Amino acid sequence: MRTFILFCMMMMVSFSYAAMIQGSSSLLTEQYANQLEQWLGEGPITLTRIFSKSVDGASSNAFHNKVDGQGRTFSVIHVSGNYNEIIGGYNPFSWNTSSSYTVTSDRSAFIFNLTENRKFTQTGYHYPGYQTYNHSSYGPTFGAAHEIYVDSTLNSGYVLNHFPSSYPNGYNTYGNGTAMNLLGDQYYYSNGVYQGNNSHAYSYNLVYGNIEVFTISNGVVPEPSSVLLMCLSLVAVYIFGKR
């Protein structure tokens, strides 16, 4: 019995350190949610879905009606077609329709590819403070160069990485090397000079599947888990079996 109780306690402790998802998700697995929690680096978090393209509507108006003024969020995007990858970004500030960039000395925003375990932080050479672009005709769009761009239909857009950019990956290092965007498309950069016409890694005419947006709260919202219910049921069986 002691061993069983210890097992239940260990399982409940392990669950307490896993990111929680409120409102369900067609894009975030438990593994992906835990990865976002790790990248954010604030300990246990609860992600509450406030927008789903498949539920709330495929338009920038539907997006902004749900997400504007809601505080910091994760936007999660399914890039369908040949890529079939899950990308997105962390916005430390509220979305809005100001037709302007969020420009700040804060450097906590980042964009990511959950499928390939990629994270690009704000280390841009010219425009590192340009976190997001806010417009009534845009979906979730990140970076000075629109490194993630979602159009008004929420069905298409592009992903790129070029100079200058807010979320670079490799191009700002000196010497020979390569740079890529979130989807792994690359261009060549040598001795501070772009080679040929490959001035950017540009994945265009993307087709987006579902898009979801989640608010973030610190700490895990307690919920009855299947493990806890199983443990309580087995304890009850054990007690009644002793009578």
DSSP assignment of the chain, as one string? -HHHHHHHHHHHHHHHTSPEEES--SS--HHHHHHHHHHHTSSSEEEEEEEEHHHH-SSHHHHHHHHBTS-SEEEEEEETTTT-EEEEEEESS-B--SSEEEE-S----EEEETTTTEEEES--SS-TTEEEEE-TT-SSEETTTTSEEE-TTSSEEEEEEESS-SS-SSTTSSSSEEEE-TT--EEEEETTEE-TT--EEEEEEEEEEEEEEEEEEESPPP---HHHHHHHHHHHHHHHHH-
Which of the residue ranges 15-19, 36-40, 182-186, 228-232 has the most confident prediction, judged by mean pLDDT? Answer: 36-40
Q: What is the mean pLDDT of the chain?
A: 82
Average pLDDT over residues 143-167: 87
Looking at residue 208, what is its pLDDT? 98
CA distances from 46 to 41, 49, 110, 209 (A): 13, 10, 18, 24
Indicate the pTM of the whole model. Answer: 0.80
d(CA 27, CA 19): 14
Higher-confidence position of 126 and 216: 216
Whole-number Å distance between alpha carbons of 10 and 16:
10
Q: In the beta sheet, which residues pair with residue 184?
A: none
Q: Where are the domains of the chain?
A: 20-236
Residue 116 above 70 pLDDT? Answer: yes
Tens digits of residue pLDDT in 1-10: 555 444 454 4
pLDDT for position 175: 28
Q: Could you tell me if 78 and 209 are in contact, meaning their C-beta atoms sit under 8 angstroms apart?
A: yes
Specify burial of residue 100 (Cβ count, 10 A radius: 0-12, 13-18, 19+).
Answer: exposed
pLDDT in tens, 54-104: 999 999 999 999 999 999 999 999 999 999 999 999 999 999 999 999 999
Q: How confident is the model at residue 153 (pLDDT cuts 50, 70, 90)?
A: very high
Alpha-carbon distance of 25 to 14, in angstroms, equals 21
Percent of the chain with pLDDT over 70: 70
